[in-house]
Amino acid sequence: MPKVTVVIPSYNHGCFLAARLDSVLAQTYRDFEVLFLDDASTDDSLEVFARYRDRPQVRAIVNEVNGGGVFRQWNRGVGEARGEYVWLAESDDVADPAFLETLVPLLDRHPNAGLAYCKSLHIDEDGRVTGDTDDWTRPVHPTRWSGDHVNGGPDECRRYLCRRNTIPNASAVVFRKRLYDQAGYADEDMRLCGDWAMWVKMLLASDVAYVARPLNLWRVAHAASVRREASGSMGCLEAHLTILGRIVAAGPLPPEMIPVVAEDCVWGWQHHADRDPEAENPLTHSRCARLAAELGPAFQAALVAAVMGHAVHSRRRLEGLERRVAGLERQAEELALWRRLHRLLVPENGWRRRVARSVVRLFR
> pLDDT at position 340, please?
64
Q: Do 118 and 99 touch, CB atoms closer than 8 A?
A: yes
Q: Flag residues of the chain having pLDDT under 70.
A: 221-232, 272-276, 278-280, 282, 284-285, 305-322, 324-329, 331-364
What residues contact residue 236 under an 8 Å CB cut-off, 6+ apart?
192, 193, 230, 268, 272
- What is the reported pLDDT for 270? 72
pLDDT of res. 45? 96
Q: Identify the CA nearest to 183 among candidates 95, 250, 87, 93.
A: 250
pLDDT, tens digit, for every residue of 237-258?
889 999 999 999 999 999 999 8
Ordered domains of the chain (ranges, CATH): 4-230 (3.90.550.10), 232-364 (no CATH)
| DSSP code, position 68 | S
Task: Kindly provide the b/e burial profile for residues 52-90, where b requires at least 16 CB atoms within 10 angstroms of the residue's own CB.
Answer: beeeeebebeeeeeebebbbbbbbbbbeebebbbbbbbb
Report d(CA 230, CA 148) in Å as an integer. 30
User: What's residue 346's pLDDT?
Assistant: 58
What per-residue string of b and e applies to 213-248 under the rule 16 or more CB within 10 Å gives b? ebbbbbbbbbebbeeeebebbbbbbbbbbbbbeebb
In contact, 186 and 197? CB cutoff 8 Å:
yes
Compute how many other C-beta atoms are within 10 angstroms of the C-beta atom of residue 334. 10
In three-state secondary structure terms, 246 is helix
Task: Output the pLDDT for position 222.
Answer: 59
Q: What is the pLDDT of residue 234?
A: 74
- In 84-219, the DSSP E strands lie at 85-88, 94-95, 113-123, 129-132, 149-152, 173-176, 207-219
The predicted pLDDT at position 184 comes to: 95
Quick one: CA torsion of 233, 236, 242, 247, rounded to 10 degrees?
-160
CA 317 to chain centre: 28
- Residue-level pLDDT at 153: 98
pLDDT at 178: 98
